[in-house]
Amino acid sequence: MEIATKESKYTVSENRVGAVLSVQNLKVTYGNFTAVQDVSFSVHGGEIFGLLGPNGAGKTSTLSAIEGLLKAAQGNIFIAGFDTKEKPLHAKANIGVQLQATSFQPELTVDEILQLYAGVYGVSLSKENRARLLYDIKLENAAAKRFGQLSGGQQQRVSLAIATMHQPQLVLLDEPTSGLDPQSRRQLWQRIEEMRNRNHAILLTTHSMEEAEAVCDRIAIIDHGRIIAIDAPGVIIEKHRNDPEVISASRKGKITLEDVFIGLTGTAIRS
C-alpha cells in the first residue's frame, strides 16, 4: 500500500555506520547500579534481530536507550545514520515502536485511531487507504469496532500497523506476541516477516525461544547487562551444543535454542 507522506525535514542521511541501527559500547546506569555494560550490535535493513535475556538482564534498558527514553551513561547509538545524541528528532522520526501492552483509547473505533495516529505521524491517510490497511491486516470489517472490543491478537495487529504507518526504517517490537494464541502468533509472525521483506530493520525482544528460532535472522543473548552470544540461532546452537551446561539443560535429547539459553544464563528464576 502506498501512503502519501508530508515532506519531512527529518530525511534519512547517508548511513555512515552501514546499518539502520548501530549500538556501540552502550552503558546504562541507575544511580550506582549498571544495568547495561559495553553492549554493541547492529541491525540491517531486511533483518529481524532478536534480543533475548532473562528478566533483569538489560533488554528493556537497552531498548529504552534506543528509543531515547533513557540517557546512556556511555556509548553511541545511530539510527538511519543519525547520532541519537546530536540528532535525536531525526533519529526518532525513523523509528516505529510496538509495545507489549497497547495503550490506545479503548472507546475509540479502529478507524478513529488510525486517523488520530496518521495525524501524529504527519501521514496522509485517505478513507480508501485506511480501508486497504485494515484489509492487509485482515481486519477489513473492524473499522467501526471500538478498540476495546478487539481480541488481543487483533489489537496487536492494529498496533503494529500504526507503528509502521510512517514507513520507519527501524521497527522496535517489545514481546509482540506475548499472551497470544498460536493462530494469532503465527499471523503476527507473518506480518513481521513481511516488514523484513520490505527492507525494514526489525529489533524484537522475546522470551519465546520458538519465536526467536522461527523468525529471527540473528539473535543476541544478554545477561547481567552484557551480550554473551550473538549470531544466527542455528549457529549459536551448533557452537554450544557440546557445552556440559547445555547438555544438562536438554530435556528431549535434541539440543534446542532454549537449552543453549538455559545453559548460558543458568536455571535460577529471575525476579
Instruction: Establish if 106 belongs to a structural domain.
Output: yes
- What pLDDT, on a 0 to 100 scale, did the predictor assign at position 171? 97
For residue 4, the number of C-alpha atoms closer than 13 Å in the C-beta half-sphere is 6
Instruction: Establish if 247 belongs to a structural domain.
Output: no
Count of structural domains, the chain: 1
Q: For residue 91, give the nearest of 22, 173, 162, 4 by alpha carbon.
A: 22
Please state the pTM of the whole predicted model.
0.88
Residues 6+ apart with CB under 8 A from 189: 177, 211, 214, 215
**pLDDT mean by block of 10 residues, the chain; 271 residues:** 40 52 97 97 96 95 95 97 95 89 84 93 91 92 95 89 93 89 89 93 94 96 97 96 90 88 90 70
- What pLDDT, on a 0 to 100 scale, did the predictor assign at position 6? 38
- What pLDDT, on a 0 to 100 scale, did the predictor assign at position 94? 96
Q: Which domain holds residue 82?
A: 4-231
Instruction: Establish if 239 belongs to a structural domain.
Output: no
Instruction: Establish if 263 belongs to a structural domain.
Output: no
Question: What CATH number is given to the structural domain containing 27?
Answer: 3.40.50.300
Instruction: Establish if 82 belongs to a structural domain.
Output: yes
- What pLDDT, on a 0 to 100 scale, did the predictor assign at position 18? 60
Instruction: Establish if 34 belongs to a structural domain.
Output: yes
- What pLDDT, on a 0 to 100 scale, did the predictor assign at position 110? 96
- What pLDDT, on a 0 to 100 scale, did the predictor assign at position 179? 81
Q: Which three cell numbers stand for residue 45?
A: 535493513
Q: How many residues does the chain have?
A: 271
Instruction: Establish if 251 belongs to a structural domain.
Output: no
Instruction: Establish if 250 belongs to a structural domain.
Output: no
Beta strands per DSSP E along the chain? 4-5, 21-30, 33-43, 47-52, 74-79, 82-83, 95-98, 123-124, 170-174, 201-205, 218-223, 226-231
